[in-house]
Amino acid sequence: MSDIGRSDDVVYRQRALELREMLTSLSDHDVPVPGMTRRVTDLRAQLLADVGIPLSTFRGTLKQVPSELLNEMARKIMDTVFPTFSDTVKFDPEQVLEKMRRDLGDQHGELFDAVEDHLAGEKSRDERQERRYAGDRNMSRGRYFTVCDDSGGGDSQTLCRELFAYVNSYVPGWIFVGDPWDSELYQKLGGDNAPEEMRNCVYVFMLEPLDDSEHAAYQQAYMPVLEQLANPNGLKILPIPVRWYDVEIPLVLDLRQPEAQDWLFRFFRAGDGAVLVKPTEPARSFIDMLPALYHPYRGGSGVTAGIGSWLRTMGVNALVYPSSRSDASIQVDSEGELISARGWNLIAYLDEAPTDRQIHVDSNPWYSFEGAGYEGVEVHRAGGSWHLSGIEKGYDWTRKLILNALEGGRKLAD
């Protein structure tokens, strides 16, 4: 491929920055500017060709929780149980300080005092949510989907794990998210004899804490949901409707494809110098980059923000990327052709350029999974195929607990 994507390529940087300036100018106008719009189209095509990006057409099935299908109860569940899944999140300085007290305990000292001074005078407010590969705070969650295994809507519980990651771990009790494609769980709920509303959905399980002293905190946190139930005690199973779509999207960077993985590595291993600046030792392979792509922070890392901003700037329609909540995998044949994949998401940009033209600077090294905050995560490779293990252990532990509760027990999972 061309070296134009290297961070030290002056011509590339000039063209990329010119494009970003034109997009800024266009966003400042209420009506299209024909000459500039044409220049943007031409410059995008030139840059995409010069950097040799292997775009393809995505054909498959996507799944999400569509807001228009949510009734009043489902909205209460989403807002109460998964409060930071929405497009806006409430910033409360007192909650920030309280979380630091819990996390740091008696060791908070000077760090806590510095943050407290920094937040002095700050008021609670609603902020737009940061999202992975968005590049700014203006990408709606309606642009995010999980990639299904087939046209039947099953995605190996990828959407369930995405929702599960938004549960507030500081609230006592247990929350779990499952779906009918988990055959063992589905049979526990009655299988094909289950009510219709329990089929095209995900299940939100709510289980109160064992310790009576923690009941008050559980009841307070989830009151908007629990007060709607005739009996708020015991295990509750609440459906959230989902929808899946058969789609065909051109101009997609599909990271399930080995060619796309190789391109991402070569182009962004040291940043591109115009949108993503990475002043560290370059990555040695795509696998080296996975911990940064998987960073557990809900908005992703500086690397994912930079990559997303670049793709939106260049007019790429969508990105297929590994879910940071799943043990993602790809299996390819001897020719490098994709046979199967598990645990992948898609973000649909569809020519929505980023509104924030900042240059993303990530000074962190290409850290390991342990450096990203994970424990016990491993990458297993066999030729061009690979899979992760260890990401899902918290989800799997809670699943065992819920299965036991469905059988009438309350013991913790081993």
DSSP character string of 261-280? HHHHHHHHTTB-SSSEE--S
For residues 364 and 312, membership in a common domain is answered with: yes
Q: Which two tokens stand for residue 226?
A: 């629990």
One digit per residue, the tens of pLDDT, for the chain of length 414 reads: 444 445 678 889 999 999 998 988 887 766 667 788 889 999 999 999 999 999 999 999 999 999 899 999 999 999 999 988 876 556 566 776 676 676 666 655 666 677 777 667 666 655 567 889 998 888 888 899 999 999 999 999 999 999 999 998 889 999 999 999 999 999 988 888 777 777 789 999 999 998 888 989 999 999 999 999 888 788 999 999 999 999 999 999 999 999 999 999 999 999 999 999 999 899 999 999 999 999 988 889 999 999 999 999 999 999 999 999 999 999 999 999 999 999 999 999 987 777 777 889 999 999 999 988 899 999 999 999 999 999 999 999 999 999 999 987 554 444
pLDDT for position 133: 94
Three-class secondary structure of residue 349 per DSSP: coil
Q: Which two tokens stand for residue 259?
A: 């060619």
Question: Which H or E run includes 305?
Answer: helix 302-313
For residues 261 and 318, membership in a common domain is answered with: yes
For residues 92 and 55, membership in a common domain is answered with: no
Q: Which two tokens stand for residue 123?
A: 């008021």
In a domain, 396, yes or no: no
Q: How far apart are CA 267 and CA 336, in angstroms?
A: 20
In a domain, 200, yes or no: no
> How far out from the chain centre does Cα 20 lie?
25
For residues 33 and 104, membership in a common domain is answered with: no
Q: How far apart are CA 178 and CA 117, in angstroms?
A: 43
Spatial neighbors of 157 by CB under 8 A, at least 6 apart, are 178, 179, 181, 182, 395
pLDDT for position 94: 74
- Residue 2: count of CB within 10 angstroms of its CB: 12
pLDDT for position 170: 85
Cα-trace Rg, the chain: 23
For residues 278 and 345, membership in a common domain is answered with: yes
Q: Which two tokens stand for residue 175?
A: 């929350």
For residues 282 and 351, membership in a common domain is answered with: yes
**Residue of 216, 372, 221 lying closest to 289 (CA atoms):** 372
Spatial neighbors of 382 by CB under 8 A, at least 6 apart, are none
Domain that holds residue 121: 88-128
Q: Supply the pTM of this predicted model.
A: 0.87
3-state helix, strand, coil in the chain (%, to 5): 40, 20, 40
**Residue of 320, 319, 398 lying closest to 157 (CA atoms):** 398
Q: Which of 69, 102, 128 is the last residue of a domain?
A: 128
- Crossing angle of helices 34-51 and 10-27, in 10° steps, is 150
- Crossing angle of helices 302-313 and 10-27, in 10° steps, is 70
Q: How far apart are CA 82 and CA 148, in angstroms?
A: 22
Question: Which H or E run includes 369?
Answer: none
pLDDT for position 3: 46
In a domain, 401, yes or no: no
For residues 51 and 96, membership in a common domain is answered with: no
List of E strands, 323-408: 329-332, 338-342, 344-348, 360-361, 378-382, 385-389
Q: How far apart are CA 346 and CA 324, in angstroms?
A: 12
For residues 254 and 359, membership in a common domain is answered with: yes
In a domain, 225, yes or no: no
Q: Which of 128, 152, 186 is the last residue of a domain?
A: 128
CB 5 within 8 A of CB 266: yes
Distances (CA, A) of 194 to 50, 185, 205, 401, 405: 55, 12, 16, 21, 18
In a domain, 319, yes or no: yes
In a domain, 27, yes or no: yes
> How far out from the chain centre does Cα 142 lie?
12
For residues 378 and 284, membership in a common domain is answered with: yes
**Residue of 45, 58, 50, 51 lying closest to 254 (CA atoms):** 58
In a domain, 168, yes or no: no
Q: Which of 75, 99, 128 is the last residue of a domain?
A: 128
pLDDT for position 112: 67
For residues 270 and 377, membership in a common domain is answered with: yes
In a domain, 8, yes or no: yes
Q: Which two tokens stand for residue 63?
A: 């799944």
The residue type at 368: S
Our count of domains for the chain comes to 2
For residues 121 and 252, membership in a common domain is answered with: no
> How far out from the chain centre does Cα 211 lie?
33
For residues 252 and 320, membership in a common domain is answered with: yes
